[in-house]
Amino acid sequence: MLIEIAAALEGLLFTCAWARRRRAQRRHLWTGNRCSIHLPVVDDYLKQQTAGASRVEVFAASQLAAVCRKAVQTQSFQSVLLHGIRSARRGKLTSIWRVTL
């Protein structure tokens, strides 16, 4: 009886550890890496430039940034960058996409 309880508890422990690890992996996929790079000069300048933003603008920017973070962490984004680099090395850009900041 005691051995059966110990075996059941051990199985439960392994199941809980596995579920916690899977949950952490899923959370990491959705939220990305929490360690972001801080550039104090750039951060301070941008805070000054966006000081008068409304709540709607802040919300829209945060949602768009979250979508961009998710898109950047995909294999297809890496492939798009690789295509751009290879096209630039050949001396011609085959893409009609333009990015302006």
Q: Using one digit for the tens of pLDDT, what is the confidence trace for 4-16?
A: 898 899 999 989 9
Confidence check: pLDDT of 56 > 90: yes
Residue 23: inside a domain: yes
pTM over 0.75? The answer is no
Residue 97, domain member (yes or no): no
76: enclosing H helix or E strand: helix 75-89
Domain assignment present for residue 17? The answer is yes
Range of the domain at 8: 2-33+40-74
Report the chain's terminal Cα–Cα distance, integer Å.
69
- 68 Cβ neighbours under 8 A, 6+ residues apart: none
pLDDT at 77: 83
Angle at CA of residue 95, ends 91 and 96, nearest 5° = 120
